[in-house]
Structure 1
Amino acid sequence: MLKDLRNLSEKEQQEYLDRFILANEEQKFPQEVVALYLDCSPWTLARMRCDQSSLPFSKIGRRVSYKKKDVLKYEQSKTVLNTAQLATI
């Protein structure tokens, strides 16, 4: 069952974010932590997996995880300088 970590207290959210930020780039994280970092819901990540987005993930059984380096690379690929760039993507 997906949990939305945005329902936690700010302190608890910050603890999850700090663990993500301080981790090495090969570290794997559950979808709930990645969703918190990307400021989206876990259900958005689930939809992205079905839509074949460019964010790689691992799935063993029912467990889904993402490598920190893949999350950072995905975030960087979505960075734009102005809204006009979105029209060309």
Structure 2
Amino acid sequence: MSLKTLRDAPDEKKEKALNDFLNSQEDKNFPQEVVALYLDCSPWTLARMRCEQNSLPFTKIGRRISYKKRDVLQYEKSRTVTCTAQLV
């Protein structure tokens, strides 16, 4: 099984996807390839995270996975640390 990714896309396409994400309203849904690009991780990392409890919330309709911008930003904020001792 392969997951769509924007990692190998032309820079213009990646920049447009990131700008669309950053300039959108917080209740807008985005596909996992855009979220993976924003979080600088692979779609496989997001797939693994979906199997974990207390992870990034997502919506699944059929085979389509999407994430609300609000949830992505909140998840990113929750993972922000000020000291490496907080990681233990």
TM-score normalized with structure 1 length:
0.92
Equivalent in the alignment of 1:82: 83
Structure 2 counterpart of 1:52, which letter?
Q
**Equivalent residue letter for 2:3:** L
State the match for 2:31 in structure 1: 30
Task: Report the alpha carbon displacement of residue 52 of structure 1 after superposing the two structures with TM.
Answer: 2.5
- Give runs of aligned pairs for residues 37-48 of structure 1, distance below 5 A: 37-48=38-49
Percentage of identical aligned residues: 63
> How far off is 1:71 after superposition?
0.2
Name the CA shift for 1:41/1:53 in 2 (closer, same or farther; >3 Å).
Answer: farther
| Counterpart in the other structure of 2:12 | 11
The corresponding residue for 1:20 is: 21
- 1:33-65 Cα offsets, whole Å, 9 max, x none, are 000000000010001001234210000000000
Shift in Å at residue 80 of structure 1?
A: 0.5
Secondary structure class of the residue paired with 2:56 = coil
Whichever structure has more helix as a proportion of its residues is: 1
The more displaced of 50-59 and 33-42 is 50-59
* 1:4 counterpart SS class: coil
Count of matched residue positions in the alignment of Structure 1 and Structure 2: 87
Partner of 1:5: helix, strand, or coil? coil
